[in-house]
Structure 1
Amino acid sequence: MGHGRMLRKEDARFVRGRGCFVDDVTLPGMLHGAVLRSPYAHARILSVDPSAAESHPKVRAVITGDVLAERGLAWMPTLSHDVAAVLATDKVRYQGQEVAFVVAEDRYAARDALALIDVEYEPLPPLVDARRALDPDAPLVRDELDGRTDNRIFDWESGDAAATDAAFAAAAHVSSCDLLYPRVHPAPLETCGTVASVDRVTGRLTVHATTQAPHAHRVLYATVAGIPEHKIRIVAPDIGGGFGNKVGMYPGYLCAVVGSMLTGAPVKWTEDRSENLMSTSFARDYHMRGEIAATADGRILGLRVRVLADHGAFNGTAQPSKFPAGFFHIFTGSYDVPAAHCRVTGVYTNKAPGGVAYACSFRVTEASYLVERLVDVLAHDLGLDPADVRRRNLLRPEQFPYRCATGWEYDSGDYPRTLELALEMAGYDQLRCEQAARRREHAETGRGTLMGVGISFFTEAVGAGPRKQMDIAGYGMADGAELRVHPTGTAELRLSCMSQGQGHETTFAQMVAEELGISPHDVEVVQGDTDRTPFGLGTYGSRSTPVSGAAAVLAARKVRERARIVAAALLEVSGDDLVWEKGRFHVRGDREAGASMREIALAAHSDLELPDGVEGHLDATCVYNPPNLTFPCGAYVCVVDVDPGTGQVVVRRFVAVDDCGVRINPMIVEGQVHGGLADGIGMALMELVAFDRDGNHLGASFMDYLLPTAVECPSWELGETVTPSPHHPIGAKGVGECATVGSPAAVVNAVLDAIGVRHADMPLTPAQVWRAVQGSPLRTDLAIGERS
């Protein structure tokens, strides 16, 4: 009952193959859609002739940009107030962009008919290197925008430039480093897809979709298609991973809706793996120059950062729109930095739209990687131990709540204790002794592998967010919960967030059960259906527990207080005379005189006479507008062995100590951390969305876009500290993305520590590591994406 290591309720159907995913949805008379995509990264469209495809005996409709334009559906808003073409009409702006959509009787006929559509292109020079985006002679990506003369999306800055300049002028030492956080892909297990059905009689639209934000999608459909929102139902069934990839609305979704409008039948569209890797939302792609000012003994005095952000052909970032660079301005990380300033410039390029909140809280991943690399570079330059530099600069418990140099207030934490626990678990001093012995042996014999130890300490910023500061597409980021206790004492909780594998059906049931004193098995969690759930902006950026979880807890507490009133009437005493113990109220001083939640629930639905103005039933709602973000943190230690002859990296050990506040279900927390650590190893060592100089995508399958497996991952060693969030109802902070934020820097720091190189960019592939060992020039064209 309540919090603890409870097995996941949803797994029973998954392990038996009884899950229901979008591709499992089959409706009577259902047709199938397929997307024609551009082979060019940048080309003008001279003509589109669908006549041969329309003559195919199994084709029911061919949708082009002109067809959509006739219906006023040619453009759709992105989550960052940009506009994106549903189907390209004037020109294509990235390889894989949608040009036409075929609706046919089966998926094979739909795909076959794509080859019958005749599109004449005039190739244009592509822009694939963001560092050229602002050059006077750079190709103009968004020439359809009025007054557009260059590829700039935004210029944004945070911090105090004058104070930072003064700190640098007074510093005994300044270290700097140019870094690339390369473009990566969420690569969910299930690709994106939808089944759209328009009822011609009622005008009602029902969409089954792989979406992390059903209510946000309903708003967008109403905005774009002109259908009244109350006549739109979005259903998100089981989702095989999202990681931010399934936040936005893709052209295939809207085309399926139009296909249903044209044919009068349901239309299913499911992308294949290559389509998912080529054209759905990417992440990262930040070129960063960081400078760190310090005293001679490594005390940080200031940070200065310049960033060039590659957002692809459309600015489709799923992040609070008041902060175009997301939460990158929490780039001071976990350290007491007196002065800091950053400037971020976003640019368009001929790549698929990027900037998705992929397993990070709106750019915190890039910010954390930046500061953790800078701290290691500072230690390298000063000849200091990286652990000691962190010890000197970490925030201390008595400094919380702490307002960082860019204005954000961190809620709580015991950073020194978290770091020391990680170092103790790893046996840090012994590791350094082992490393010294291995280095001596290698110097003497030239044989054996090189050993490296890497540390990272991160602070996340999750739980977006306070409505006064954050919105998506103009809608405040508050979330709702509705709780109903039935006459028999079982409960139904309706949420606006949406699970993609995090175990919501278990953890949210545990939260309600803890508040009401009932079994989690007696709490049904409803999510993913806009007809059955309250409005909210969905799941990403580790919002679930900090925002929707808080709403659920507060709704449960409202129910409990209503139960107190019912119990007082049932027991014929004043509510003030009742004492709550888990699952029941009893009369103060007489534990035998009481009523269980089940008895109270039945009484609330009976003919029991309640006080004037008090309604029956045990129902409650809550819309939770968090007062602040929550700030989980963690300390990671990675140990690697590097073969200098081949550049091969083996992650031998990984110690991860996380502080995510109160843990609802430790087993689910550990599973989230395991996944994030594997994710970090992938990004540090192998994952790269690559393009050649013509803008051709080079990673359209898992043969080219490499993902980590169990072979590349060690047995994780996990620890925990707990500092509850002071403003969250149960002190929880969220953990879903923490390991992805903290782990890449630990791996990179370990590899560079092994080979004695000051800096090299991810991914540290064997070829990249080998070049660094040999002293050969590193591949700077990885910034463009050509692989080593």
Structure 2
Amino acid sequence: MITCKTSREIGGMGHPIKRKEDIRFIQGKGRYVDDIKLPGMLHMDIVRSPYAYARIKHIDASEALKIPGVVAVVTGKDLEKYNLHWMPTLMSDTQMVLPTDTVMYQAQEVAAVIATDRYTARDAKEAVRVEYEPMKPVVDPYKALEPDAPVLRTDKEGKTDNHIWHWEVGDREKTEAVFRSADVVVKEHMHIPRIHVVSIETCGCVADYDKVNNHLTMYMTTQAPHAIRTVIALVAGHLGLTEEKIRVISPDIGGGFGGKVPVYPGYVIAIAVSFLTGKPVKWIEDRSENLQADSFARDYHITAEMAATREGKILATRFKVLADHGYTDAAANPSKFPTGLFSIGTGSYDYDTAFMEADAVYTNKPPGGVAYRCSFRVTEAVHAIERLTDSMARALGMDPAEFRMKNFIMKEDFPWKSPTGWTYDSGDYHAGLKKAMEVIGYDDLRREQAEKRKKGELMGIGISTFTEIVGAGPSRDFDILGIKMFDSCEIRVHPTGKAIARFGTKSQGQGHETTYAQIIAEELGIPAEHIQVEEGDTDT
């Protein structure tokens, strides 16, 4: 039973108030990037590679430039003159904005067509002719590590293989000793394949450079406007576009799911063209581009093991991961956690020994590593530990719910330190699973399952428990490009008692405007309806 601390008129936490943002959405009045139209605005479309790995021998834009309304065709060679052809990723790797000689994955950006309207830009894109010399791509991460595999990132001086990094956590020797003496050991090999987030709204931007004031306003579909501003400054700072001269505005977003965190080449190309022409430039990708070229999630190859006693007590786990990051490491993980938060993979269980290690590799695929539907790499971790847990329960002949109950961290043991270094502050996992089992009628389902199997019918019952690690803090552990991550809020209370609250976060449909207003109403006693919430603007 929820006890509300404020009156219904105040509308604090627990009160069922109408969502503040829904008024504009249900009337079709949401404001998305593609709704932004500025005077003199140019439109951009992108020529993409049909090959996963090929040398660019020649780009012929002559026919495209003959089309009325075409302003320019931009190539990597053009950007190279201004040192804008490469950019940093959020994991301190580097990524091509436009290639000067080699394409590294299918649908990679090769050239950009600038025109006075979107349809002319699309027609002109088809008129650009690119001569390629195809090469055999490397798409298997295991083969990418073989001694005779071609070195893909030849742009990196001294690079002799496709290995990106090695990471490990836990006690290797102690874990090996436990496994050697354990009564029961189970082992699973699993591949969590690439997925695409497929937000309803694709990515896009409007870059508007003001030459007089040397100021860039960037309207874009980003979940992280402040981080994006920093990356733009790192790319274009040598041209005078330092961070205080950049404003990133993220209007309403039609879904994010992690796919709108990275900095995509299209954004930087639009900025470069606006910088050179002094005119606003709009780029909106289509669905095919979105599916082929934007960042992917998952692509983890995991070998996982669990050791336990015959009585069903978990003793230790061991994980070995090969992470396929595509042609660049463009994940948005904190720098001290290149695997993201995979080390949460010891799960909700009480044992003190674990070891995890991971290696990342380059392949001829689009960049991967976005955090789809939960914090960085937590889904992969949960999949691994829960699959192991089910396997061990089967090996011991125990019910999977009973096995989990036997191994959950006890309520009285919180705060609890995991063998990979995380502190779990609180929880009551036994009560949570027991309640879920009661709600679904777990015992009845098991009886039904047994009866059906007697008849030769199959009926599956799945259980998964999930300790999520959320947010991006504390800042001593979480950063992007070495810059500590944080979120902030500024609240201004007007003389009439109304308030405006500005946040550094960005909603992608979670209802921040309503939730934040209710939290503030709870704390300050100002009615939620009198609290205006703004976010997604680096100037506020």
Q: TM-score, normalised by structure 1?
A: 0.66
1:156–1:344 Cα contact (<8 Å) kept: yes
Question: What amino acid maps onto 1:2 in structure 2?
Answer: G
Deviation at 1:50, TM superposition (A): 2.2
2:509 aligned with 1:495 = no
Mapped partners of 1:69, 1:411: distance in 2: 50
**Structure 1 counterpart of 2:194, from 154, 162, 183:** 183
1:302–1:339 Cα contact (<8 Å) kept: yes
Deviation at 1:95, TM superposition (A): 0.4
Mapped partners of 1:298, 1:233: distance in 2: 57
2:334 aligned with 1:324 = no
Question: What amino acid maps onto 2:376 in structure 1?
Answer: F
**Structure 2 counterpart of 1:527, from 525, 530, 535:** 535
Mapped partners of 2:60, 2:156: distance in 1: 26
1:509–1:524 Cα contact (<8 Å) kept: yes
Deviation at 1:332, TM superposition (A): 0.4
Aligned to 1:515: 523
Aligned to 2:111: 100
Counterparts of 1:40-119 in structure 2, within 5 Å, are 40-119=51-130
Mapped partners of 1:516, 1:357: distance in 2: 34
Q: Report the secondary structure of 2:127's partner residue.
A: coil
Deviation at 1:136, TM superposition (A): 1.3
Bigger Rg over Cα:
1
Aligned to 1:719: none
2:480 aligned with 1:460 = no
2:488 aligned with 1:484 = no
Aligned to 2:4: none
Mapped partners of 2:312, 2:158: distance in 1: 48
Aligned to 1:211: 222
**Structure 2 counterpart of 1:289, from 303, 322, 328:** 303
Counterparts of 1:376-387 in structure 2, within 5 Å, are 376-387=390-401
Mapped partners of 1:486, 1:205: distance in 2: 31
Question: What amino acid maps onto 1:516 in structure 2?
Answer: L
Q: Select between 328-337 and 135-144 the one with higher mean Cα deviation.
A: 135-144
Q: Report the secondary structure of 2:505's partner residue.
A: coil
1:155–1:346 Cα contact (<8 Å) kept: yes
Mapped partners of 2:126, 2:492: distance in 1: 53
Q: Report the secondary structure of 1:34's partner residue.
A: strand
Question: What amino acid maps onto 1:496 in structure 2?
Answer: G
Aligned to 1:221: 232
Question: What amino acid maps onto 2:437 in structure 1?
Answer: L
Mapped partners of 1:469, 1:112: distance in 2: 48
1:61–1:259 Cα contact (<8 Å) kept: no
**Structure 2 counterpart of 1:389, from 403, 426, 431:** 403
Q: Structure 1, residues 232-271: CA drift from partner, whole Å, max 9, x if none?
A: 1111100000010011111111111112123322111000
2:422 aligned with 1:408 = yes
Mapped partners of 2:319, 2:66: distance in 1: 57
1:334–1:457 Cα contact (<8 Å) kept: yes
Question: What amino acid maps onto 1:416 in structure 2?
Answer: H
Aligned to 2:133: 122
Mapped partners of 2:18, 2:315: distance in 1: 47
Question: What amino acid maps onto 1:514 in structure 2?
Answer: E
Aligned to 1:132: 143
Q: Structure 1, residues 27-75: CA drift from partner, whole Å, max 9, x if none?
A: 1111110011110001111222223222322111111101111011011
Mapped partners of 1:458, 1:201: distance in 2: 53
Deviation at 1:228, TM superposition (A): 2.3
Q: Report the secondary structure of 2:342's partner residue.
A: coil
1:498–1:528 Cα contact (<8 Å) kept: yes
Aligned to 1:26: 37
Aligned to 2:3: none
Mapped partners of 2:496, 2:328: distance in 1: 52
2:273 aligned with 1:298 = no
Mapped partners of 2:486, 2:283: distance in 1: 31
Mapped partners of 1:86, 1:186: distance in 2: 22
Deviation at 1:387, TM superposition (A): 0.8
Mapped partners of 1:508, 1:281: distance in 2: 30
Question: What amino acid maps onto 1:103 in structure 2?
Answer: I
2:165 aligned with 1:154 = yes
Question: What amino acid maps onto 1:387 in structure 2?
Answer: A
Mapped partners of 2:371, 2:445: distance in 1: 36
Q: Structure 1, residues 409-439: CA drift from partner, whole Å, max 9, x if none?
A: 1111001000101111111110010001111
Aligned to 2:12: 2
Aligned to 2:253: 239
Mapped partners of 1:218, 1:165: distance in 2: 46
**Structure 2 counterpart of 1:268, from 258, 282, 306:** 282
Aligned to 1:728: none
Mapped partners of 2:180, 2:320: distance in 1: 18
Q: Which has the bigger relative contact order, CA under 8 A and spacing at least 6?
A: 2
Deviation at 1:297, TM superposition (A): 2.1
Deviation at 1:115, TM superposition (A): 2.0
Question: What amino acid maps onto 1:151 in structure 2?
Answer: N
Deviation at 1:366, TM superposition (A): 0.4
Question: What amino acid maps onto 1:526 in structure 2?
Answer: E
Mapped partners of 1:366, 1:205: distance in 2: 38
Deviation at 1:472, TM superposition (A): 0.5
Question: What amino acid maps onto 2:57 in structure 1?
Answer: L
Q: Select between 225-234 and 119-128 the one with higher mean Cα deviation.
A: 225-234
Mapped partners of 1:173, 1:229: distance in 2: 57
Deviation at 1:107, TM superposition (A): 0.8
Q: Report the secondary structure of 1:298's partner residue.
A: coil
2:291 aligned with 1:277 = yes
Percent of aligned pairs sharing the same letter:
56
- Cα-Cα RMSD: 1.0
Mapped partners of 1:59, 1:20: distance in 2: 28
Mapped partners of 1:261, 1:457: distance in 2: 51
Mapped partners of 1:518, 1:179: distance in 2: 52
Aligned to 1:430: 444
Question: What amino acid maps onto 2:109 in structure 1?
Answer: E
Question: What amino acid maps onto 1:165 in structure 2?
Answer: E
1:206–1:235 Cα contact (<8 Å) kept: yes
**Structure 2 counterpart of 1:360, from 341, 365, 374:** 374
Mapped partners of 2:334, 2:482: distance in 1: 9
Deviation at 1:451, TM superposition (A): 1.0
**Structure 2 counterpart of 1:174, from 185, 189, 207:** 185
1:61–1:262 Cα contact (<8 Å) kept: no
Deviation at 1:488, TM superposition (A): 0.2
**Runs of 5+ consecutive residues of structure 1 not aligned to the other structure:** 443-448, 533-788
Deviation at 1:88, TM superposition (A): 1.2
Mapped partners of 1:338, 1:472: distance in 2: 30
2:490 aligned with 1:506 = no
Aligned to 1:561: none
Question: What amino acid maps onto 1:459 in structure 2?
Answer: T
Q: Report the secondary structure of 2:276's partner residue.
A: helix
Aligned to 1:12: 23
Aligned to 2:7: none
Mapped partners of 1:348, 1:55: distance in 2: 39
1:60–1:263 Cα contact (<8 Å) kept: no
Q: Select between 494-503 and 257-266 the one with higher mean Cα deviation.
A: 257-266
Mapped partners of 2:155, 2:135: distance in 1: 15
Q: Report the secondary structure of 1:221's partner residue.
A: helix
Deviation at 1:170, TM superposition (A): 1.8
Mapped partners of 1:320, 1:35: distance in 2: 31
Mapped partners of 1:498, 1:75: distance in 2: 27
Q: Report the secondary structure of 2:188's partner residue.
A: strand
Q: TM-score, normalised by structure 2?
A: 0.96
Question: What amino acid maps onto 2:295 in structure 1?
Answer: S
